[in-house]
Amino acid sequence: MSRLERGAAVGLLCIALGVAAAVSDEEPAYRYQAPISVEKTAAFVQLPLPASAYGRSLGANLADLRIVDGRGERVPFAVLAPRAAEAQSVEQQRDAALYPLPAKPAANGVWGSPVEVTLQGERISVKRLGSATLANATAASGGWLFDLGERKKEDPPPQSLRLQWSGPAEFSAAFRIETSDELRNWRAGGGGQLLALASAAGPLTQPSVMLPAHAGRFVRLVWADAAAAPVVTGAKVIASTQNSITLDKPTELVLGSSPAPTGKTAPDEAAQRALHYDLGGVLPLVQVDLQLAPGTRVAPVRVQGRNHSDEAWRELGASVFYRLERGTEVSTSPPLALRANVRYLRVLPDARAAALDAGLTRLVVQAQLASLVFASQGAAPYALWAGADKAAPSALPLATLVPALDDERPRFGRATLGEWQEVTAVARAAERQQQRAALRPWLLWAVLLAGVAGLGFMVWRLTRPSAPPA
């Protein structure tokens, strides 16, 4: 009995090993190739990746990409991720009108106004009072009145005044300021000090008068000691705005709707009214927009996505897209900011809204696609390979390939990717592999059934009555 069991086990092991060898995967091979056209030569060349490269890549994070030269030798390269937007401060300057204040009033007195304000509708007209020259009035002045001018709604609020003066070379003058909108009601705005120091390296100055938040149009500056104050000759209104500067512009794709992807998941009721879009690969999206059919359209929708056709849909965002026609003018909705890595998108209109026209509705996506940077070595022409799911990563760390990236980036060359071509032998091998993968469960069931049949046969032989001896 034990000898037969050992024999059966050995037989089953041999069958299993034979089946495993028959269905074993072949060595990884690159299924797609595309030529690289170098438009600007340099020591390092940047190759922006199109969306088609993401669709041909089978490795995670573009791990299966490889660059080769004309002899098929590897070319060292690295993946260059898009740079994040950079915050930048933009300073705006404009001239302020300045008027010397009259002599300082007695204790608890009220400062006189050197100008007259006239309200004409929504405009304020400012007129200088008196005929004294600026130089004569300055000599007896206890301070200054600054007119910042009218500010439009889109203009940033002023943050400071930058003063100019004529002598002396060194001084220290303290001041306090007040602000007003109409020269009648004044609000305290704090104080400060102007400085000018002479040094061997040049004059050192502090010319800024910081303004409070929501400062009025008029600013009244009063010296603590007019005798120590400089003679102000001009003033600039300083307003700063913070802008976000895009360093690497995203790639725009305009897509028409496609049939609903088929997979293992059963179609739901929402799929009947939804529009489906195939991006061609798992792309890093930053925003999406809908180009609606002509006419006035309002479309409240939900946007869902998934990476594979057999996955469940996941919620990505919701928005109201519109196209409003008012005579010859057309207004459209802003795009929907969307940070997601996804291949398939579907747009589900609200049940209370009209269905979307599948033939005329276009999806506009902005994707932050990466680039490749490779060294100009080897023999041209170069080519990009992709489509090997089990290939070892070929990209080097960016710091290894380009040690001084910030210095080298402005000197990068430029290249573009040509049309993809499919390697016939690799494509056929992939089809055979898929066929074997489909047959693998049947082969395993055949091995199992063969083993059960063999064990049954041995049990039958052991339990059969033995023949009487001759």
What is the reported pLDDT for 395? 94
> How far apart, in Å, are the Cα atoms of 458 and each of 3, 8, 9, 253, 461?
11, 9, 12, 67, 5
Q: Are residues 212 and 107 in the same domain?
A: yes
Residue 440 lies in a domain: yes
Cα separation of the two ends of the chain: 24
pTM, to two decimals: 0.62
Q: Are residues 305 and 408 in the same domain?
A: no
Q: Are residues 106 and 140 in the same domain?
A: yes
Q: Are residues 303 and 410 in the same domain?
A: no
Instruction: Answer whether 239's CB lies under 8 Å from 151's CB.
Output: no
Residue 291 lies in a domain: yes
In tens, the pLDDT along 344-365 reads 999 999 988 888 999 999 999 9
What is the reported pLDDT for 10? 42
What's the structural domain count of the chain?
Answer: 4
Domain endpoint, select from 189, 212, 244: 244
Q: Are residues 36 and 145 in the same domain?
A: no
Residue 231 lies in a domain: yes
Structure tokens at 279: 């991006």
Q: Would you place residue 127 in the very low, low, confident or very high pLDDT band (cuts 50, 70, 90)? A: low
CATH number reported for the structural domain that contains residue 193 in this entry: 2.60.120
Q: Which residue do the tokens 């602000």 mark?
A: 179
What is the reported pLDDT for 439? 62
Q: Would you place residue 152 in the very low, low, confident or very high pLDDT band (cuts 50, 70, 90)? A: confident
Q: Are residues 300 and 394 in the same domain?
A: no
Q: Which of 83-87, 128-132, 320-324 has the highest mean pLDDT?
A: 320-324
Per the structure, the complete domain to which residue 208 belongs is given by: 90-244
Q: Which residue do the tokens 């993946």 mark?
A: 79
Instruction: Answer whether 388's CB lies under 8 Å from 71's CB.
Output: no
| Res 192 pLDDT > 60 | yes
In tens, the pLDDT along 54-77 reads 999 988 889 999 999 999 999 999
% pLDDT > 70, the chain: 78
**Side-chain half-sphere exposure of 128, counting CA atoms within 13 A:** 14
What is the reported pLDDT for 310? 85
Spacing of C-alpha 273 from chain mean position: 31
